[in-house]
Amino acid sequence: MARQDTIVFFDLETTGLDAKSCHIVQLGASCEHHPIFNDYILPRIPIEYEATGVNGLTVSDGQLLLHGAPVTTVPLYHSLKYFIDYLGSFPGPVLLAAHSAWTFDQIVLMRVLRKFSLFEQFEQVVSGFVDTLLLSKKLYPQLKWFNQPYLVRYFLGEGYNAHNAVEDAKLLEKLFNRWNPDNDDISEFTDLI
């Protein structure tokens, strides 16, 4: 079925799980036949031990490290500007899709966009957020679990580098394409801006 909107799949890796205060340390996005978006951001607060255990990111001597290896970072403001430009390159405005968008990724992203007075620019290129966690629960209520690594194993038969924003975004896109939800189901789990 033809989609009404371009859907860009994205993910955030953060310093912790409190959507009201965590900092973004990686922003990744994927959309078919387009370049991948991937920025690492040096946070201004410590990365919680539990978050490091999940995403492998730490800070040492003012440098962001992924599993002990330094990564190139950009300031958060610049990353957000680049992301808005990236999203503006699609016919749009686009929908942003994330697993747990409504309870985490959307909240974090909107908070930092407002903090940097970038929300008005953002809403020119994005029409809303699709929560694929809720969508998966509606489409496949018989499943026992709905976390993304489980869904990737169940539907795609593969493992992957979970909790890397780019890998999460790319695999979420593959899952979504496998599910092939209709526009009504997508709309039901879309929070318009």
The structural domain count of the chain equals: 1
Q: Is residue 1 part of a domain?
A: no
CA distances from 170 to 55, 56, 81, 154, 162 (A): 16, 19, 21, 16, 10
* Banded pLDDT at 102 (limits 50, 70, 90): very high
Which pLDDT tens digit goes with each residue over 130-146? Answer: 999 999 999 999 999 99
Q: Is residue 161 part of a domain?
A: yes
* Banded pLDDT at 1 (limits 50, 70, 90): very low
Helices (H), the chain: 49-55, 76-88, 106-115, 119-123, 132-139, 148-156, 165-179, 183-188
Which pLDDT tens digit goes with each residue over 12-44? Answer: 999 999 999 999 999 999 999 899 999 999 999
Considering the chain, what percentage of its residues have pLDDT values greater than 70?
98
Q: Is residue 100 part of a domain?
A: yes
Q: Is residue 125 part of a domain?
A: yes
Mean pLDDT of all residues belonging to the chain: 95
Q: Is the pLDDT of residue 3 over 60?
A: no
Q: Is the pLDDT of residue 128 over 80?
A: yes
Q: What is the domain range of residue 20?
A: 7-192
pLDDT number for residue 160: 84
Q: Is the pLDDT of residue 174 over 90?
A: yes
* Banded pLDDT at 4 (limits 50, 70, 90): low
* Banded pLDDT at 2 (limits 50, 70, 90): very low
CATH of the domain at 124: 3.30.420.10
